[in-house]
Amino acid sequence: MELLGPREIAAFALSLLDLTNLRDDCDASAIETLCKRAQGPNGNTAAICIWPRFVAQARGILGTSNPVRIATVVNFPSGNLPVSEVVEETRKAITDGADEIDLVIPYSKFLGGDEVSVSEMVRAVRAACPDSCLKVILETGEIKDAALIRRASELAIAEGADFIKTSTGKVQVNATLEAADIMLQAIRDSRKKVGFKPAGGISTVADADLYLRLAETIMGANWLMPSTFRFGASGLLDDISAVLSGSTSPRASTGY
């Protein structure tokens, strides 16, 4: 990583990007645009991340052999739905064509001391999508406490998460390097093949580079790849494109 220049970092970040539209005003036209942007002149993003109601539309646009994967969210963003509803959400999303499920843990219950609710939720959704990539969102900006972030990471990993993810992008504090450090150490110490996804507020290539360097420091060289690392972002692609084109980098200013 230390030998890579801005353009190389930008191109690498592009390959790791879950290009996201989870805006409340997202519509069918926005999904068409998102699918096009995910397959740009500089290469493809790893995935798009969208509301469940748009999965079937996106699958129709991208087809069945497109390298851009379709991720969707369940129990999102509050984390407070019953397990049965979340399982049904998951099954429908898979039927509609989702490749990846981003699940919010019941973090409010967890903060109240209920670890079992987290384990039960992740276990049930894992069973509902056994062949799909499961990313478990901890909502670290709400959990806040380092020991609790570590514990939530351990619970998600123990129940079969393929990735652990920082945030929904819907709260005041989203991805932070401090939370990333804790989560990456939990992945390392688990000795399991689990990926990491920082999400929310990562809007520039310079931001992305900080997370990439941290991950490489903790996990070692050659760990970083789409099967182990993703960025959840909407604005990051603008800065990636600006860096790759050599134009002045704009700063995205909102949420994801």
Please identify every residue annotated as catalytic.
Answer: 102, 165, 197
Which residues contact residue 238 at a Cβ distance below 8 angstroms, ignoring those fewer than 6 apart? 203, 250, 252
Q: How far apart are CA 242 and CA 183, in angstroms?
A: 30
Question: E strand or H helix at 223, and its extent?
Answer: none
Q: Select from 62, 60, 63 the least CA-distant residue to 19.
A: 62
241, HSE (Cβ side, Cα atoms, 13 Å) = 17
Separation of alpha carbons 162 and 69, rounded Å: 15
CA–CA dist 241, 13 (Å, integer): 11
Nearest to 187 by CA among 175, 172, 197, 199: 197
Measured in degrees and rounded to the nearest 5, phi and psi for residue 101 equal -120, 125
H or E stretch covering 142: helix 140-143
**CA proximity to 139, closest of 164, 168, 112, 114:** 168
